[in-house]
Amino acid sequence: MHRAKKTVSQAANALGGILLAAFAQAFKTPDLRRKLLFTLAIMAIYRFGSFVPAPGVDYGNVQQCVAGAESTFLGMMNLFSGGGLLQLSVFALGIMPYITASIIVQLMRVVIPRFEDLHKEGHAGQAKLTQYTRYLTIFLGVLQSTVMVTTAANGLLFQGCPVSPIPNAGPGTLLLTILTMTAGTGLIMWLGELITEKGIGNGMSLLIFTSIAATFPTGLGRVFGLESGLVKLLIIIAVILLITLAVVFVEQCQRRIPVQYAKRMVGRRLYGGSSTYIPMKINLAGVIPVIFASSIMHLPIMIAEFNRTADWSLALQQWFAPSHPMRLAVYTLLILFFAFFYTAITFNPQEVADNMKRYGGFIPGIRAGKPTADYLNYVMTRITAPGALYLAVVALVPEILFAVMGLDGAMPWGGTSIMIMVGVALQTVKDIDSQLQQRHYEGFLS
């Protein structure tokens, strides 16, 4: 028994030494060190902009009005802005306009054939779609900043606040504030693209990671200050660790469909004959279904905010309260629906089958063409079902637990936030590891 414990301890120490050596090697590599420092600098600029108030905004008045606002429908948007939304900062809109624009452009591929043709044109078509995404991001930035500034000026954003966050709410001041927030949205989009091009990649996801991670210390500190705060804090940490393990396990799981390429003669040379596989993840849709479902679930609460005393408003507030069974049921159904819907528009079995047939590939035991597409669609449906249930469980369990513990207002994040953070962290580690492997060094995952 003692020898087994000693062996496990030695293995853990060896693994820790490998990871530390990999991190040290990453910073010893000049090109990779430059990319890492550049990425950290951009993330620092992004966080700094979340605290700079927009023109015309009284920071002191905002601090008086912000108490309790995170428990409203603005909590999710404030989370993705790193707390800048409820501060009415230059980066108040955060990354949400770009996320919404990207999702809309992807959905338009199903509705508008021109978008699907651009997607198939390769680099040139992708560049055109990226340009459309930028234009739509600026449009959404103007729309959202206008709504936010006008509701803050007339008292609807912070209802019940004795002071106004924008004291001198004249037309010129409101216009300047709207333009500043819109410019902040364009700057965030540019910062994310800089990380993708000159940093370690995955720029927009890293900015989302930064926004969510910035709210964790404040949320945990708020819980610790409550009654029985230490016990609740330990329970929350345990839940976070369990969700992290579940996300890491599921996100790494995949169904590998074997593919065999037939041998063919080109001139005097023999090509093909190789074997490979199609990796199909259990959760092909990622966290997009949860984000979609959360956005839709916030709409009734947002509508109820305009008239809190009406009967229909009181009914909406009751039905869509965090712990109400109706809200949990609708939320679960929306997650399941969007999981299947988004997987269907991002993975096209017919296109994969046509590409395999074009290059002489086939799945052993399955005829090429339509039978292959039907088989891929069958497998995709079978593995999407547990993936959708996994998304629903991870999103709902922390929310139910926080509601039972009475932490709705103290915790602005839940399972969705943890999923995003762990997913982005895994992808970033893989990107750095691949760059280390290209330079013949041991990577993080070696």
Q: Are residues 277 and 390 both part of a single domain? A: yes
141 is a domain residue: yes
Angle (nearest 5°) at CA 128 between 131 and 119: 125
Q: Is residue 428 part of a domain?
A: no
pLDDT value, residue 7: 42
Q: What total number of domains does the chain contain?
A: 2
Query: In this predicted structure, what is the pLDDT of residue 426?
Result: 78
Domain that holds residue 31: 27-218
d(CA 242, CA 230): 18
Q: Are residues 76 and 201 in the same domain?
A: yes
Residue 431: the pLDDT is 78
Same-domain status, 323 and 296: yes
Q: Is residue 411 part of a domain?
A: no
88 is written with which tokens?
């009415």
Task: Please indicate, yes or no, whether residues 205 and 244 belong to a single structural domain of this protein.
Answer: no
Assess whether 373 and 399 both reside in one domain: yes
Q: What is the DSSP string of 183-215?
A: HHHHHHHHHHHHHHHHSSS-HHHHHHHHHHHHH
* pTM given for the model: 0.76
The verdict on residue 129 lying in a domain is: yes
295: closest CA among 75, 71, 133, 23? 75
In the block, tokens 């305009």 appear at: 306
Q: What is the DSSP letter of 263?
A: P
Q: Are 307 and 208 within one domain? A: no
Query: Where is the domain boundary, 218, 242, 262?
Result: 218
Question: What CA–CA distance (Å, rounded) separates 392 from 359?
Answer: 39
* Residue 134: per-residue pLDDT: 92
Q: Is the dihedral of CA 5, 10, 16, 18 positive or negative?
A: negative
CB-based contact 70:78 (threshold 8 Å): yes
Domain membership flag for residue 417: no
Shared domain for 107 and 246, answered yes or no, is: no
Q: Are residues 185 and 54 in the same domain?
A: yes
Q: Given 196, 218, 240, which residue is the final one in a domain?
A: 218
Among 218, 249, 265, identify where a domain stops.
Answer: 218
Comparing CA positions, the residue from 285, 246, 257, 294 lying closest to residue 384 is 285
Find the radius of gyration of the CA atoms of the chain: 25
15 within some domain: no
- 279 contact partners, CB below 8 Å, separation of at least 6: 254, 255, 256
- Residue 111 is assigned to a structural domain of this protein: yes
* Domain annotation covers residue 443: no
Do 36 and 177 have their domain in common?
A: yes
The reply to whether 251 and 163 lie within a common domain is no
Kindly give, in sequence order, each residue whose CB lies less than 8 Å from that of residue 15, ignoring residues fewer than 6 positions away.
none
Model pLDDT, residue 11: 42
Averaged pLDDT, groups of 10, the chain, 446 residues long:
44 46 69 87 89 82 65 56 70 84 82 82 84 92 86 74 79 89 91 88 84 78 73 82 84 85 66 76 82 74 66 74 77 89 84 82 84 89 90 82 67 71 79 74 53
pLDDT at 10: 45
C-alpha–C-alpha distance, residues 5 and 247, integer Å: 28
Residue 253's pLDDT is: 84
Q: Are 244 and 330 in a shared domain?
A: yes
- The pLDDT, as a whole number, for residue 4 is 44
Q: What is the CATH number of the domain that holds 33?
A: 1.10.3370.10
Q: Are residues 242 and 192 in the same domain?
A: no
Residue 152, token pair as written in the block: 């803050």
pLDDT at 18 (0 to 100)? 46
Determine the Cα–Cα distance for residues 185 and 196; give it in Å rounded to an integer.
17
Question: Which of 321, 322, 300, 320 shows the shortest CA–CA distance to 395?
Answer: 322
